Amino acid sequence: MQESAKDKTTFKEAPFLVIKGFLMGSADIVPGVSGGTMALILGIYERLLNAIKSVNGPFLKSFFTFKWKTAFKELHIKFLIFLFGGIFAALAFFTKVVPLQVYMFTHPEIVYGLFFGLILGSIYILYKTLNEISWQEILMSIVGVGIGLWIVSLVPADTPENPAFVFLSGMISICAMILPGISGSYLLLIMRKYDYLLSNIGMIGGTETLDGIIGLLPFMLGAVVGLAAFSRFLSWLLGKYHSQTISVLIGFLIGSLFVIWPYQNREFVEQVRETVEIDYTSERAQELLNSEVNENLPEYERVGKIINPESSFDEFKKIEVETVKKKMIKSKPFVPGISENSNPDTNVWGGVIGILIGMMMVGGLDYLREKS
């Protein structure tokens, strides 16, 4: 990959880059396939790395000395705008229109089955990129399997949500985003920061916009630091040891597949995130009092204690409304109908269908890339 590669993006290809960006964003928001892998499938991976590397020392020097014409002359600005426009559109779609964090709780077999299929499809695509498979590639894949199992066993089920750990999560996940074979959202899932990130994104645009931005700030700072440092190292690594690097990543995915296995017994803990007092006679209070709470959601509201319950007049009463957040603290995979810990209420066919759809999606994208 050439360091001095110029941006050859034209406005004619803008719609296609936006679509490819949307597919990359979709891949990164679901814990199953990385945006880097999607870029590889879609044939824009080398351009992506070159665009990231165009944010270099000379660019920053020109930018902060107000020589903007010189700065943007070297920056792959058109490529980045079109591509990241599609990525941000995917983030908005899968938090506002189709809230994946909700469906992960309400339909886990189907959703995780889709993720599992996407990982399998990614492994297939990555193996296809290798010109030949020798004993070195096999050995590196075995090493990757060991690394994947080791990482999953070391990461605790319950991780802190302090700014330092969120910053670290941003660094790690953004590196995975541009790395073919590792899903950034997959790593967020095993670090238990996936639902945290999507919940904060979902706050933006409503009454909790400021809270959402504050929650995302450490993650974004970590992403910037990680992206700047890792893109150059990755470019060198893939350029010098391409097949060995890809083989390690394939092994990593294979060793980590059981985390996304759709059939698991998952244990959750509930935490009261916020408690507010409202008038007993308010519309919101009456709605909560007269409706059934859906505890299958990742976050829901419930009625707490009634304040001044002895009053003869409802106007003098208040109630506490608790915002409850659920966090997964433990999961144990099983094979339906075979394992002793098998759950009889499992939607077996939902998981099977999800896996097949995920594999077909990745296969279809690879087919389109070969035809384009």
CA–CA separation, 6 vs 8, rounded Å? 6
| 23 and 72 both lie in a single domain | yes
pLDDT computed for residue 218 by the predictor: 92
Mean pLDDT, rounded, of the chain:
82
Question: Looking at the 3D structure of the chain, how many domains does it have?
Answer: 2
At residue 350, the pLDDT reads 95
DSSP notation for 1-56: --TTPPP---GGGHHHHHHHHHHHHHHHHTTTS-HHHHHHHHT-HHHHHHHHHTS-
pLDDT of 1 higher than 50 = no
Residue 102 lies in a domain: yes
Residue 5 pLDDT > 70: no
6: in domain = no
| DSSP string for residues in 121-136 | HHHHHHHHT-S---HH
DSSP lists the bridge partners of residue 302 as 322
pLDDT in tens, 253-301: 787 787 788 999 888 878 887 899 999 999 988 998 898 888 878 888 9
Among 158-162, 186-190, 333-337, the range of highest mean pLDDT: 333-337
| Residue 225 and residue 320 in one domain | no
Give yes or no for a contact between 172 and 230, defined as CB atoms under 8 angstroms apart: no
How much is the pLDDT for 221? 92
Q: Are 227 and 318 within one domain? A: no
Give the C-alpha distances (Å, rounded to integers) separating 286 from 104, 176, 248, 353: 29, 46, 57, 41
In this structure, are 272 and 260 located in the same domain? no
Residue 292 sits in which domain range? 268-330
Shared-domain flag, residues 188 and 201: yes
Residue 104 falls inside a structural domain: yes
What pLDDT is stored for residue 357 in this prediction?
Answer: 93
282 in a structural domain: yes
Same-domain check for residues 112 and 250: yes
Residue 335 maps to a domain: no
pLDDT at 313 over 50: yes
pLDDT bracket for residue 354 (50, 70, 90): very high
Q: How far apart are CA 109 and CA 353, in angstroms?
A: 9
What sign has the CA pseudo-torsion 44, 94, 325, 277? positive
**pLDDT of res. 321:** 92
Same domain, 177 and 290: no
pTM of the model: 0.70
